[in-house]
Homo-oligomer: A and B are copies of this chain.
Amino acid sequence: MTQKEAIEYTIKLAKKATDKEIRPNPFVGAVVLDQDGKLLGEGYHQKIGGPHAEVNAIEDALKKIKDLRETTLFVSLEPCSHFGKTPPCCDLIIQHGIKKVVIASLDPNPKVNSVEKLKQNGIEVEVMNDPEAILLNRRFFTQHLQKRPYFILKTASTIDGKIADRSNESKWISNEKSRRFVHVQLRTNADAILTSYKTIIQDKASLTIRIDKNPIIETNVIIIDKELSLLKEEYASLPIFYKRTNTKIYFISNKNRTSSQSSGIEFIKGSFNEDGLIFSSIAASLLEKGIFSILTEGGNKINTSLIEQKFADELYWFIAPKILNDQFGVSMLGIDKSRDIQDTFHFDLINVNKIDDDVLLHYHFKSKHSL
């Protein structure tokens, strides 16, 4: 295995975990190779609270060989050097006298500084800054470098980008399989779903995870509701207010309200301007509450704001095989703000998925590449 192949393989291993299993931890994979490049051990971080990738890879290698002093450890993210839920991987590497460590991407967490510590202990260290390894942990990097949760924008529109007609009617634009994908893949892997109080009212949304005949799963919900309109008596019986056992509704308003009659409701104060919520104003509060990745299922206003404020880290766009052809139908995107065609927001196309007659396009926001 060449160095390049080894790095690629650590990323492949890392991807065996799902966001749901490890969040808010990063995805990490690791391999141990002998001096001829032969694979001795491999591992990945499988579960929050469980052993790190390096531990798994080293243990796997020890089944084959007792002395690791002539081996190289490849790891997709810088090994930890601090005590978290598990002891520092850095110490384990030093303890086994591993000859060389190749790190595909550095940990943005300031508490982590393995590179120096390993070097001080006579271990050769090579840092790659591999784009794929960085991309792998976009959520984790966003949290640490941008001090905000990672936003995944989901929308379903007609070919002409409409999410509802003039009278705001929208059910259903995408097909059943597409909607199932939202539950199985997107809602399941986010810490919370963000939407507006208007969508909650219009769609009578519960925003739970419903997969076939399985028991319904609760989700955390973030509702942008500047005036806390949804707390009016008339909305008390909306599906969103189901009895929660392990999740919360976070209301984003411009009020100073803190206490609630229900344990399932919390309040976050945000700043608003004429275009709506300023997302940076709630970033710290969300991280404090343990919300690191957010699926947004909003309308035109939320979508537009996320794009304008460059908070849309990913886009999942379902396209139904329909055309409304009414310019005054509700568009998924668009604000009254002039922008030149040369100044568009750029995305990377990650995946194209045919879901019967729907198409699902998955994009990453471009500037993230240079994280």
Residue positions of A touching B, CB distance < 8 A: 158-162, 164-167, 169-171, 173, 304, 307-308, 315, 317, 319, 321-329, 331-342, 344-349, 352, 354, 356-359, 361, 363, 366
| A159, B325: Cβ atoms closer than 8 Å | no
A-B contact sample (5 more), CB < 8 A, given A173-B341, A304-B325? A159-B317, A171-B341, A327-B335, A328-B338, A348-B357
The distance in angstroms between the C-alpha atoms of A164 and B319, with both chains bound, is: 21
| A345, B322: Cβ atoms closer than 8 Å | yes
Nearest-neighbour CB distance to chain B for A285, whole angstroms, equals: 26
Among candidates B170, B332, B359, residue contacting A352 with C-beta atoms closer than 8 Å:
B359
Question: Which residues on the B side are within 8 Å of A315 (C-beta)?
Answer: 159
Nearest-neighbour CB distance to chain B for A165, whole angstroms, equals: 4
The distance in angstroms between the C-alpha atoms of A325 and B323, with both chains bound, is: 20
Question: Which residues on the B side are within 8 Å of A332 (C-beta)?
Answer: 160
In the complex formed, the residue of B with least CB distance to A342 is: B169
| A326, B322: Cβ atoms closer than 8 Å | no
Question: Which residues on the B side are within 8 Å of A349 (C-beta)?
Answer: 321, 354, 356-359
Question: Which residues on the B side are within 8 Å of A338 (C-beta)?
Answer: 165-166, 326, 328
> Do A340 and B160 form a contact, CB below 8 Å, given A321-B348, A321-B363, A359-B361?
no
The distance in angstroms between the C-alpha atoms of A337 and B324, with both chains bound, is: 10
Among candidates B171, B340, B356, residue contacting A169 with C-beta atoms closer than 8 Å:
B340
In the complex formed, the residue of B with least CB distance to A157 is: B161
| B347, A322: Cβ atoms closer than 8 Å | yes
In the complex formed, the residue of B with least CB distance to A327 is: B334
Question: Which residues on the B side are within 8 Å of A323 (C-beta)?
Answer: 307, 333, 344-345, 347
The residue in A337, A339, A344, A363 that gathers the most chain B C-beta atoms within 10 A of its C-beta is A344
| A308, B335: Cβ atoms closer than 8 Å | no
Q: Which 6 A-B pairs have the closest CB atoms?
A: A327-B334, A322-B344, A161-B161, A160-B333, A165-B341, A321-B347
In the complex formed, the residue of B with least CB distance to A173 is: B341
| A337, B326: Cβ atoms closer than 8 Å | yes
Nearest-neighbour CB distance to chain B for A327, whole angstroms, equals: 3
Nearest-neighbour CB distance to chain B for A156, whole angstroms, equals: 12
The distance in angstroms between the C-alpha atoms of A231 and B159, with both chains bound, is: 36
Question: Which residues on the B side are within 8 Å of A337 (C-beta)?
Answer: 325-326
In the complex formed, the residue of B with least CB distance to A356 is: B349
Question: Which residues on the B side are within 8 Å of A327 (C-beta)?
Answer: 331, 334-336
The distance in angstroms between the C-alpha atoms of A363 and B342, with both chains bound, is: 29
Among candidates B160, B341, B347, B357, residue contacting A331 with C-beta atoms closer than 8 Å:
B160
> Do A344 and B331 form a contact, CB below 8 Å, given A161-B160, A319-B361?
no
Question: Which residues on the B side are within 8 Å of A328 (C-beta)?
Answer: 336, 338
| B336, A324: Cβ atoms closer than 8 Å | no
Question: Which residues on the B side are within 8 Å of A329 (C-beta)?
Answer: 334, 339, 341
